[in-house]
Structure 1
Amino acid sequence: MQLDPVCVSCTSPEDDPLTFAVSQFWKVVLHPDQSVPGALLLVSLRHVAKVGELDEREALEFFALYRLIEAALENELGASMVNVSCLRNWAYREDNADPPWLDGRPNPHVHWHVAPRYARPVAIAGDRFVDGQFGEELIWRGERVGRDVQREIIDRLSVHLGLQ
């Protein structure tokens, strides 16, 4: 595994063990922070800085893929609703930018944080998860889960998505 040293979002899918589905223009990555189980990143395969710079095919495929992801999270994990956000804030920090600045300028890479929200507890791989912030804006807490939980989430969502 070799994460891209300049932009982790540019890491090729085969080099990222948390990438579990790839379409023509996007990859689906299990978010390392599982503050809510099934949190994902939907990352453009092309390094593009702004949502407005996506071409029409990328934008259309984003919405088609998002619909599949939303349905998978609801049907496979029991999400009550799904939050989605494109932030890019870290790329603009003067100190410790992520990804690092390039040629003295911010170097953002369009990606979406997809966060399923749960009105009721959810069980995954024998563990019970409670969304204690349901009905409020999600505060990411840096929650890590074991490989068995990661694997079950990936397996359940992969079946529904039908991508490789």
Structure 2
Amino acid sequence: MKLSEEDKKYILSEDDYWSVYLPDEQDYIGRCIIVLKRHAGALSDLSFGEWTDLYSIIHKLELCLKTTLGADLCNWSCLLNNFYKDDNPNPHVHLHCRPRYSRPVIINGNEYVDEEFGHHYNNKKVGAICGKDREIIYSKMKEYLDGK
């Protein structure tokens, strides 16, 4: 799974195995995607080192989201379904982190409310935020992660 040039501008952290970025779709404020750098089609294909590294990323990212944005918890998913819509599916391991909030999140004076808090996330939720708010979220998270 190759990151677009736009996605590369929003890389929060990167190491030998994984890239973490803040996608433009912020249906849940602070939503991140963690992408394996090499190709693997299933979680069972991960090496011990990749699993160990992923654990460390999850730990740091959850602390970052709780500290910088006030997340109460994070929902994690590794859903490869969309790859199988193609005639020749070629799934690539990546995980979605959806932070969840019991209180409104205020970014740049704009209020974002997690209306499904306490329930499963809504996979059809539209997450339009202004570019400035995405920049602010990115800067807060990047500064935190760079300090760890």
Normalising by structure 1, we get a TM-score of 0.82
Match of 2:135 among 139, 144, 151: 151
CA gap of 1:13–1:106, structure 2 versus 1, over 3 A, is same
Task: Report the counterpart of residue 101 of structure 2 in structure 1.
Answer: 118
Task: Report the counterpart of residue 131 of structure 1 in structure 2.
Answer: 114
1:57 Cα deviation from its structure 2 partner: 1.1
Q: Structure 2 stretches of 5 or more lacking a match?
A: none
Structure 1 runs of 4+ off > 4 angstroms?
12-15
Superposed CA offset, 1:5-55 (max 9, x none): xxxx32377873232321221111112321111001011111211111111
Paired letter, 1:16: K
Normalising by structure 2, we get a TM-score of 0.90
- The percent of aligned pairs where both chains have the same amino acid is 31
Paired letter, 2:95: W
Count, aligned residues: 146
SS of residue matched to 1:10: coil
Task: Report the counterpart of residue 30 of structure 1 in structure 2.
Answer: 22
- Is the CA contact 2:12–2:145 (under 8 Å) kept in the aligned structure 1? no
Q: Verify: 1:84 aligned to 2:76, yes or no.
A: yes
Q: Verify: 1:71 aligned to 2:55, yes or no.
A: no
Task: Report the counterpart of residue 16 of structure 1 in structure 2.
Answer: 8
Q: Structure 1 stretches of 5 or more lacking a match?
A: 1-8
| Distance in 1 separating the partners of 2:104 and 2:4 | 34
Task: Report the counterpart of residue 52 of structure 2 in structure 1.
Answer: 60
